[in-house]
Structure formats: structure tokens, C-alpha cells
Amino acid sequence: MDLFTKKKYVIYFDYESCDDVKYRDLRPKKLTFCTDDLLHAIVTCGMPIYYCRTRSAVIRRKDELVYKIAAIQFALDEQPDPKDSSRNVLVLSDRLRYLDPSEKGILSYYIGMFFTKLISKKIFHVQYLVHLSIAQMIYSIILEEKGRPDLIGYNLRSGDYSVFEAKGRARYSEKTLDDACGQVQMVKYICGDKPSLRVANLMYFRKKDKIKKVLQSSIKDPEGTDGISIDFPPEKILRQYYQPICELIDEIRDAAASDNSLSQNPYSARFLLPGQHSVTITLPSVIYNMFSNEFSQFNMEEMKEYVMGREEDDDLVQIEFE
């Protein structure tokens, strides 16, 4: 899979117990996206803030990002969609046959996580998705380790919370999807409100339209059960989402300050990828100044005013690949 050539892709999915009146993008049972969408999901998902506590850890963050991009390109190949030759479907790469089960498991985890991020944004319009396990460590949220969901989501415009569980498997597993449903059901309230969504998403491979091992998705939004309450206000979600991006920008920008060929925008950072490619990550100045460190002053009204005044996505991380 070539993530640095602009192409269109499609993932077909099925869904159950989901509100397809509210979320109309469910009805076609397919998600169309481009390489930029997937790269954005890789950059913004799985960037835990606690990795950014020391200078050496921040430097390793860039390497982590390069590794994750390479992992997805290694795990997936593409073929023309039999239903529309202008776009491609993603298939399991034959390269994985040389890996042991543990290595395959890591790649399946990344596929599940990154495509769940993509689905959360493009189908359910949840822009801010953060890892609950990281929130536990930073904010001392008490939650049993066994069976907890992966991700907490927040929609700034509606003020709604959501819960997501991401699974990646080589093939469809009803038990795995049921387990994911149980995990999202265990959160009853977030800051006193019921989650508007409890999404269990299983990414897997199956034969479709005479093509072997096509990447598919199976989505469920089960009813809530008696579970726990989490105190995780919007400020903490937004800070957990944006601060690692700010710190990554700081580190790369500072390291490249002597190189005039690289961007000198104080809210932007460019670094090189293998194969003579590069990535530039930029934040609006108002967002950078709110989240650049843990002592930055956060203003929810200013944040909302800035977001509501935009016609573009609420997610303000701008990413350009060359």
C-alpha cells in the first residue's frame, strides 16, 4: 500500500443496533476515504501524552510515528474495487505470511485502532478520540483493567461523549465482537451523561467479490448496562488529544531550527520519512497556545467560538504529506 500517492479507497461494513437516522453515513454500508484521511488517523490516534514527559521520549515519538506508518504499508495491499475502478479496496498483504502470530497480532491491533479512528470521524462525526488507559494514568480514573473499552470520544459541537472499542483480527469472530460490545457497555456515565454512542468495531478480512482477504468492518452500538461512571471533562479530553501534538511540533521544530529548508512556522513541524517523503504537522496558533504545555490556559468558550466559526472539520490538526 502506498500512503504517499493520493488515491481513493472504500471499506465495506455491516452494522447492528446503530441509529442510521442520526448517522446517515451508515446506510450505504461503505466508507469512502483517501490516503490523507488514513494518514491523519495514524498521526492523531495512539499518541499517548505520558510518552512526552522527557526530552528523550519526545524524540522517540517521531520514530514511533514513522514505524506506525511503515507498519500499515507493510500489512496492507490494494486492489481495484470491482464495483468502481476509480477506487481501491484494501487486502491483507502476503508479506504477513512470514511473520509469527505475535507480530501479526501487533499489526492487527494497529489496523483495528487506526480504522476505528477513521470510522469515528467520518461516520459518527466524533473528532476527538483518546485512549482511556492513558487517561487512567494521568487523571487517576479508577476502572478495572479487565474488560475496559479502548477509547473515549467527544463531539465539541454537540457536547456528546462516546465510547469506542477497536478490534483487529485476521477473520470475523462473533465472540470478539461480542466481547467488544461488553467492553463499551461497562461505561454508564461520563461526567453524569450517558454516552451517545457505544461503538464496538471489528476490523477483519474476508473474501469478497472474488478478491481474497479484503479488509471489512463490523460495527455495533449496543444498549448500555449497569456500569461505572467516569469523571473525564472536555478540557481533559481536548488536552490529552492536542498536547502530544504540540510537544511533537516543539521537539521537531527546535531540532530543525538551524535548517532553513524546513518550516520556520512556530506552530508547524516538518520531518522526513523513508523514500524521500516528508510530513508537515501544523496547529492553529490559538490551539497551540491553549495546549502547548500542561500549564497553558484553556478557555472552552474561545475553543468553541474558534471551532464553530469554521466550515471544515473540528479536528484542527493539519497534516500534509509529500
**pLDDT 10s digit of each residue in the chain, 322 long?**
888 888 999 999 999 999 999 999 999 999 999 999 999 999 888 665 555 555 555 557 778 888 899 999 999 999 999 889 899 999 999 998 889 999 999 999 999 999 999 999 999 999 899 988 777 766 666 665 566 788 999 998 889 999 999 999 999 999 999 999 999 998 888 989 999 999 999 999 998 877 889 999 999 999 877 778 888 889 889 988 888 888 888 877 776 665 554 556 778 888 877 777 888 889 988 888 888 877 778 888 888 888 887 766 667 888 888 7
Query: In this predicted structure, what is the pLDDT of residue 309?
Result: 74
Query: In this predicted structure, what is the pLDDT of residue 296?
Result: 76
Q: What is the largest CA-CA distance in the chain?
A: 58
Query: In this predicted structure, what is the pLDDT of residue 314?
Result: 67
What's the CA gap between 270 and 249, in Å, rounded?
A: 8
Instruction: Give the closest residue to 216 by CA, choosing from 29, 80, 28.
Output: 29
Which cell numbers hold the place of 317? Answer: 490538526
What's the CA gap between 266 and 170, in Å, rounded?
A: 43
Query: In this predicted structure, what is the pLDDT of residue 269?
Result: 83
Please report, for residues 60, 62, 216, 258, 292, the alpha-carbon distance to residue 251 in angstroms, rounded to integers and kept in the order given: 10, 9, 37, 13, 12
Angle between helices 234-255 and 300-308 (to 10 degrees): 80
Instruction: Give the closest residue to 181 by CA, choosing from 139, 242, 223, 138.
Output: 223
List the beta strands (DSSP E) in the chain. 8-16, 30-34, 76-81, 84-92, 128-131, 151-155, 160-168, 187-190, 197-208, 211-220, 228-230, 268-273, 277-282, 318-321
Query: In this predicted structure, what is the pLDDT of residue 143?
Result: 63
- The set of long-range contacts for 295-298, using a CB threshold of 8 Å and a minimum separation of 24, is 298/235, 298/238, 298/239
For residue 193, what is the DSSP state? B
